[in-house]
Structure 1
């Protein structure tokens, strides 16, 4: 009985050893020497640079699998063994540059390859790279890739035009992004309050997109003001101000507080104007 148990244990151990030997094998002597990835913005193309060291004397073909290389807007992660970029190719979509279902040929010594990354949500993502030959794992390593959120800011300014019986204030707004990541579908709300009565007299809402390190103008029509406030001294001018849709008309005793608030995920930014400004008096 004991002999049978020992035989069974010996056979199991042998199978385990053989399995590990086959998986890690005595194949190519290839190691991940280095990995680097600069921070990448949301919605931008990132790149993971990998140095693979082939310690053998002959070229060898290996496969790369990169886990957590892509994350969509729902937070779902995708792995890839494709989009392997060779530093020697000139065109991004050259067949020799982008490997879809082909191994990577490593010459003896250090070899540099790069893998495309992409994320639709900010955060920190651990990217794991596996190098294999004929389904045998040769080496693996992990690196944390930073995807910072947008850094949003709102700016409002105005231009005054004096007409025969009215003062007209054209309001221009800008959604500014000082961050690396793009922000899509930024909900932006305009609220106009009459300071004399304390009542809200106008509201509107719209979404905007802004790229990383860029700004987007708030408008409903290019090169026109975002909103217009008319202060009529002898009755409204009757101007339609089209195609501007955000229009408020008041009298000489009115002063309006213009508030614009933008929201993207957990970021909320706002800016205000008081028109006519207090320094103009009545």
Structure 2
């Protein structure tokens, strides 16, 4: 009986040692520094490391230590829910040499380890980001910081250029959506319309969907070298030219005027601009560009 009791106690001690070895709460690992942006644009893609946070982790053990780097609110979807992110290695300007999910374990080498995390947001506003170092389900260290996620700042622009061909006056219309903000504007609904200002009737219209990166502008026309719209005025008969691939086309007589309107919608934000072409019925100017 005593022998059996001894064996049971020995087994308990052995199991305790194994558990203690695998769940060592005395592992000397801590977050030394977090280098993170104070602001970040919504829907920002990889660009000059703007969507990265560097976590400097110090491993004071003489051996590699296996950890998980867990995060809250480093990646947030369109519903405001935190998602897993990635630890990335060896970016060469085009690709990473390795990508590891924050759900996976990584080995910290003795000394200082610089870990790069990707950040990304589908919503704007202030985000409290929490980073945790986990070793065998035990929290070794954690730190938090705040990042302000900024929206795009969209505006629209219309210009035109006049040319003549015999008895025809041809107005080539160029349309752009501009983003002067830090956030990326994805899936912007842009509409270009030519309207009869006397009747307010839309003569021709087209809607396209554009992505407008931060601090840039995107052309309404996706056909390189082609205008977004065409107005043809004639002192006689109009041409049979269809002006393809341009979709927004109006034909009339010299002396007619048309209202050209450009709108852009991103989420709940709407911006618009409009111009009269020609600006005066008897306009003689060459262009408005």
Q: TM-score, normalised by structure 1?
A: 0.79
Confirm or deny: 8 A CA contact 1:220 1:245 kept in the other structure: no
- Given the superposition, is the C-alpha separation of residues 105 and 54 from structure 1 closer, same or farther in structure 2, using an over 3 Å criterion? closer
CA separation in 1, counterparts of 2:119 and 2:239? 56
Q: 2: distance between equivalents of 1:150 and 1:159?
A: 29
Alignment deviations for residues 87-143 of structure 1 (CA, whole Å, 9 cap, x no partner): xx4665434x646733231423x4321112222333332221111222211111111
Distance 2:180 2:255 in 1: 39
Residue 44 of structure 1 corresponds to 45
Mapped partners of 2:281, 2:188: distance in 1: 33
Asked if 1 retains the 8 angstrom alpha-carbon contact of 2:67 and 2:105, the reply is no
Q: Distance in 2 between matches of 1:266 and 1:33?
A: 41
Q: Which residue of 1 aligns with 2:72?
A: 67
Task: Give the 3 Å change call, closer, same or farther, for CA 278–27 of structure 1 in structure 2.
Answer: same
Query: Equivalences for 1:17-56 in 2 at 5 Å?
Result: 26-38=25-37, 39-41=39-41, 42-45=43-46, 46-56=51-61
Which is worse superposed, 44-53 or 149-158? Answer: 44-53
| CA RMSD of superposed structures (Å) | 2.8
Structure 2 stretches lacking a partner, 5+ long: 1-19, 285-289
Match of 2:88 among 80, 85, 89: 85
Q: Secondary structure at the match of 1:235?
A: coil
Aligned residues: 255
Gaps of 5+ in 1: 1-20
Q: Residue 241 and residue 188 in structure 1: after superposition, are their counterparts in 2 closer, same or farther (change >3 A)?
A: same
Map Cα deviations across residues 39-93 of structure 1 (whole Å, 9 max, x no partner): 333141421111223455655333211122222334332134xx3235xx46654
Check whether the contact 2:28–2:61 (CA below 8 A) recurs between aligned residues: yes
Range that drifts further, 170-179 or 272-281:
272-281
